[in-house]
Amino acid sequence: MSSAGGTADRRHASISPTVKGLSVVSLLNDFASEMVYPLLPAFVTGTLGGGAVTLAALDGTADLVAAASKWWSGLKADRPGWSRPLMLVGYGVAIVVRPMMALAGAAWQVVALRAADRLGKGVRTPPRDAMIAAVTTPELRGRAFGFHRAADHFGSIPGALLAWWLLSQAVPTRSVLAFSAIPGLLSLLVLHRVLRSAPETTPSAATLAAAPPDATGTVFWAPVAVLALLVLCRVPEALLLLRLQDLGVATAVIPLVWAGLHVIRSLVSYPGGWLTDRLGPRRLVTAGGLAFAAGAAALGGAVSTAGGVGVFLCLGLVAGLMEPAERSLVARLAPRRTGRGFGAYHALTGFAALPAALLFGAVYQRQGGDVALYLSAALMVIATVCWWPAMGQSPQRGQA
């Protein structure tokens, strides 16, 4: 038993410095992003006079733009010399446009700026995930992605807490949005340093010849399509925040609750990656889908303010279980054209976000938050049931 423990310690220590550096970049970028995102529901519906449909469109349109750019970026990321510029441009765009939301005079302007922010996310994500996969051995990929996601979510905590503190000091919302430029610039400086020292990740001709062929047909697309279905059935986070406001959570407290959610996500992500390496993505995604369904159903019920906050925080388990598993699976299914594989995965799941946002936004606005949440819970159970046989067609079923 002690030998096994020593092996686990050595594997943890072998996480690449490049993965750790990219994790710091994501931490700082999310610091900036989460100073902004939890304030948008109140800013759009209160200050700018938008409704639930507008709020849902905020998430859905942003995810649609991100999906299209991820598809394009994934195709380019496998080309020699492209991955580093794509990451620099992707982070740079987000850093520029996020503080500009402070100048918005109408809800549609926030929607447009949020879409531009997500454009940057779309450009940077496939090459970043492909780089993490390339510098990590297959048996460690769950943990590597879990480590990265843990840092990414941890960055949300100080960002949301700072936003809450500034609001509690009567700093205007627009000023809080503008302050997000500072950690964003720091993330770009760190990224530049990380990319200068990162190893070359473009595979050589000999490596490509020796690598197994990429998964094709239903072997790749069946599990990825069901992952998109899981997104389609999920209530957008902006509407979950709106539900908390409906339950009586004060606007100034929302950033605190948002920080708490990311505490859970950060704590669970690395263990979720470890479980992915041990049990495989099939079980982890199943557990995440059922956990979201249970949380959505509970949040749709006659729950108190404190109970609603508690359920919302428990939903942090979903990302910790599913995100490392999904990324580890894509890297396994696309060993040769990994950037393209991640681009397809991120794009397809992103394309599902807009119809989901509009559907649940319309139901929320016309029938109420409880109906929207119950509908999401029921659909998530159905999608999770579909996931099991779809994943059964993937290679290396012993790891499923």
Tokens of 144: 């590597």
What string of H, E and C letters represents the secondary structure of 147-160?
Answer: HHHHHHHHHHHHHH
| Highest mean pLDDT, choosing among 27-31, 334-338, 395-399 | 27-31
Report if residue 5 sits inside a domain. Answer: no
Token pair belonging to 213 = 């062929």
- 315's enclosing H/E stretch is none
Residue 6 lies in a domain: no
Q: Is residue 299 domain-resident?
A: yes
Cα three-residue angle 97-345-268, rounded to 5 degrees: 80
Identify the pLDDT of residue 27.
Answer: 93
Average the pLDDT over 147-154 and give the result: 90
Instruction: Please compute the mean of the pLDDT values over residues 178-204 and round it to a whole number.
Output: 83
pLDDT, tens digit, 9 for 90 and up, residues 269-303: 989 889 888 888 888 888 889 999 999 999 988 88
Task: Check if the beta carbon of residue 44 is closer than 8 Å to that of residue 107.
Answer: yes
Q: Is 136 helix (H, G, I), strand (E, B) or coil?
A: coil
Q: What is the mean pLDDT of residues 345-362?
A: 82
* pLDDT tops 60 at residue 4: no
Q: How far apart are CA 309 and CA 245, in angstroms?
A: 10
Which pair of structure tokens corresponds to residue 5? 């423990």
Task: Give the pLDDT of residue 7.
Answer: 42
Q: pLDDT at position 191, please?
A: 93
pLDDT of 98-148, one tens digit each? 888 888 888 888 888 888 888 998 899 999 998 998 888 888 888 999 999
Structure confidence at residue 223 as a pLDDT band (50, 70, 90): confident
- Average pLDDT score over residue span 75-103: 88
Average pLDDT over residues 198-227: 66
Confidence band of 157 (pLDDT split at 50, 70, 90): confident
User: Which of 247, 198, 243, 168 is closest to 25 using CA atoms?
Assistant: 198
| Residue 392 within a domain | yes
Which pLDDT score, from 0 to 100, does residue 380 have? 92
- The residue among 186, 374, 187, 221 whose CA lies nearest residue 298 is 374
Q: Average pLDDT in the 246-254 region?
A: 83
- Among the residue ranges 20-24, 40-44, 153-157, 280-284, the one predicted with the least confidence is 40-44
Alpha-carbon distance of 298 to 200, in angstroms, equals 48
Mean pLDDT of 186-197: 90
- The CATH code of the domain that includes 130 is 1.20.1250.20
Phi, psi of 201 (to 5 degrees): -110, 0
**104: which 2 tokens?**
């918005």
Whether the Cβ atoms of residue 182 and residue 36 lie closer than 8 Å to each other: no
Higher per-residue confidence, 19 vs 397: 19
Determine the pLDDT at residue 124. 92
Sign of CA dihedral 30, 47, 258, 374: negative
Strand residues in 77-185 grouped as ranges (E): none
Counted residue by residue, the chain has a size of 400
Confidence of residue 362 (pLDDT cuts 50, 70, 90): confident
Domain span at 318: 16-197+213-399
Residue type, position 380, single letter: M
Conformation bin of residue 280: beta by default, left when phi > 0, alpha when psi is -120 to 50: left
Q: Quick one: what percent of the chain has pLDDT higher than 70? A: 88
How is residue 107 written in tokens? 């809800």
pLDDT at 23: 93
Residue 339 token pair: 């950037």
**224-229: average pLDDT:** 86
Residue 165, Cα to own-chain centre: how many angstroms? Answer: 25
Let me know if residue 202 belongs to a domain: no
The answer as to whether 35 is a domain residue is yes
Nearest to 94 by CA among 74, 130, 69, 75: 69
Amino acid at 316: G
Return the closest-CA partner of residue 77 out of 337, 336, 339, 331: 339
| 8 A C-beta contact, residue 240 and residue 315 | yes
pLDDT value, residue 9: 43
Q: What pLDDT score does 206 carry?
A: 47
Cα 370 to Cα 242: distance, rounded to the nearest angstrom: 12
Q: How many domains does the chain have?
A: 1
Q: Give the per-residue pLDDT at 318.
A: 86
In a domain, 276, yes or no: yes
Average pLDDT of the residues of the chain: 82
pLDDT at 25 (0 to 100):
94
Mean pLDDT over residues 303-322, rounded?
Answer: 87
Q: Is residue 3 part of a domain?
A: no
- Give the model's pLDDT for residue 187: 92
